Each structure stands twice: as structure tokens, then as C-alpha cells.
Amino acid sequence: MNRPPKVPVTILTGFLGAGKTTLLKRILHERHGERIAVIENEFGEEGIDNELLVRDGTEQILEMNNGCICCKVRGDLIRILGELADRRDRGQARFDRVVIETTGLADPAPVAQTFFVDEDVAARYTLDAILTVVDAKHAPRQLDEHHEAAEQVGFADRILLSKTDLVAPQEVAALRERIVRINPRAPVREVHFGQVPVAELLDVAGFSLDDILRIEPGFLDDLDHEHDEAVASFVFRSHRPLDADWLQAFFARALQEHGERLMRVKGVVAFAGVDSRVVFQGMHMMMASDIGRDWAPGEPRESRIVFIGKGLPREAFLQALDQCVAISAASA
């Protein structure tokens, strides 16, 4: 039996808050005429990116939560890729390529390794490129403190510098020099809110196993990966609408008191008197929000906020968020 052509796969990586989801949203919404299956990985138990990516419900997005794709749930990646290919072979799914967005804490090497050491995956998929988004504002500290950030740069085939407008030109130049020292192979370009030609991201044939083996001779051997145990994730949920002013006040206090340890926060919120979801994300001292899709008639209006950080006061956060319920809802 002749197998259909291999499906190209792009691994999209970058540290927490670098702008991976913004770039992926750009890729999905670009009019390139291709059908893309997306595999989303979240470090914590709850996924939020689906809310940020979905536009009209036609996107094929599969979520892998409660573990990192490079270690704890790596077996799930192999299973999902196999199931996707089986559905495609049977005509039950239509897609031209796969994009895998890793958690910001992932080492991309074990993910890439999957496409060479698992026989079924290797027979049905080909790794096109590893794209790494680097946050120009926070990267110097991340590269100093987190080996995953350095691995993400080191294994990249394309490097995209985000948030360069938030730092001085000389800082961007210094970061670019540091990146080139880590990885002289990968082209580096600046990207603003994911605005980059899709032709520079897809079908670039950027991943070279020979090049990787020269850099990392043990690449095809088992790669053990351990995360910093101090990094933890937790989620707040509420089926009652929240008060916008109170939630804003909560985040103002949280960022002021714990901003340095707050590595990532993402949320989908139902506000009292608002017919649409409000989606937001932030890290350290930065926060941004946007209006999402309208709540469908009869759809449960659940707020979900995911936190990732070091030494965050979980119970204090959850108790404070419980106080952000709108008065009308609390008295109902």
C-alpha cells in the first residue's frame, strides 16, 4: 500500500510570553489556502490558547494540557500525530500541514527527536522547521536563568525577535549578537505582533538532521528533560460573572507585589453586562486584553485564568479572585 506524501510539521517554540500564539494566529488567519492542524501544549491543567486562536470554528485545534510536550506528555504527542494521520488516510480529516505550539517551558530537542526515532511518525510526517520567538525585553534574563530558553534558540531554524519596540536599539543589537553566538545557523528577523510573511515560516526546509548531529551528537539518543520544580501552574475558575474594576484592581496589586515571579498569566473572562468573552494575557509587569467571541445563547459563561510562576501565593490569589464576583451575581 502506497502511503500519501508526508505531512510537513512546524514546531513553534519560544519562552513564556514571547508571542508564539500571536504569531500562530497570524499564520492561521493568513489567506494562504492551506488547511492547518494545530497541536497546542499547555504546561498547566487548563488551556486558554484555543480561545485566542479560534475565529470561525473551522480551525482544527487539539490541546495537550497538564504537562510539557518535551517530557511528561510526549507520548500523547505520538498518539495524537498517529490519530491525525489515521483520520486523514480515512478521509475523516483534511489538513495540509501541522503546527505544534509548545509550552514556553519546553525544550524543543525531544519534540524534534520524535520525528526521527518513532518509526510511524517518521513515515508519515516530515519536520520542516523549528521557529523560535524571542522576547526582546525579557530574553536576556530568561537566557541567564532558564536553560530551556537557550535550547529554544539553539535548535531554531528561524528566530523571530518580538517586542523590540519596548527596548532601546542598542539592547536589541546586543541581544541579536548573543543569539548569533548561540545559533549562527538561523536567520534572525524582527517581528511586530506576528506580522511576518507566511512564506518565510512555512515550507522553508530549515531543519537539518546532519547540522543538529554536528551540534548535538547525542540528539537521537534518549533525551531526559527536567523542569525547575519551583515553577508551578494553577487555575482560577468561576461560573459567576466578574466585576471588571475589581479584577483590574486585583491584577494591579498582583503585578506590583509578585510581578517578578509571575512568569505567565492567560485568561478568558465573563464580565457582568458584557456579551463577549474578554481574553487577556500577560507576564511580569505587562498585561494586555482584547474582546473575544460572543457567548453563544445558553453557553456556560465560565471565567478561567491560568497562572504560571515561581513561588506565587496560590491560595491568596484564588481567594482574592473569589472576591471579584460582580455584586449582582453574588446576590442572585
User: Is residue 296's pLDDT more than 90?
Assistant: no
Q: 45, 8, 5, 39: which is closest to 24 by C-alpha?
A: 39
- Helix, strand, coil shares of the chain as percentages rounded to 5? 35, 25, 35
Residue reference for cell 519562552: 15
Q: How confident is the model at residue 330 (pLDDT cuts 50, 70, 90)?
A: very low
All structural domains of the chain: 7-215 (3.40.50.300), 231-330 (3.30.1220.10)
Instruction: Give me the pLDDT at residue 223, please.
Output: 55
Q: What is the largest CA-CA distance in the chain?
A: 65
* Rounded Cα–Cα distance for residues 137 and 161 (Å): 10
**What amino acid is encoded at 38 in this protein?**
V
Question: Which pLDDT value is given to residue 171?
Answer: 96
Q: Is the pLDDT of residue 298 over 90?
A: no
Q: How far apart are the C-alpha atoms of 235 and 266, rounded to whole Å?
A: 10
Across the range 296-306, mean pLDDT stands at 89
Helical segments of 47-204, H only: 49-53, 74-89, 108-117, 119-124, 139-145, 147-154, 169-182
Query: Is pLDDT larger for residue 63 or for residue 187?
Result: 187
Residue that wins the pLDDT comparison between 191 and 259:
191
State how beta strands 158-162 and 188-190 pair: parallel
Q: Where are the alpha helices (DSSP H) in 146-225?
A: 147-154, 169-182, 209-215
pLDDT tops 70 at residue 205: yes
| Integer CA distances (angstroms), 324 to 55, 79, 270, 272, in order | 28, 40, 12, 11
Please tell me the predicted confidence (pLDDT) of residue 69: 54
Mean pLDDT value across residues 267-294: 84
Measured over the CA atoms of residue 308, residue 312, residue 315 and residue 316, the dihedral's sign is negative
Per-residue pLDDT, 226: 57
Please, are residues 133 and 11 in contact by the beta-carbon 8 Å criterion? Answer: no
Q: What percentage of residues in the chain have a pLDDT greater than 90?
A: 35
pTM: 0.74
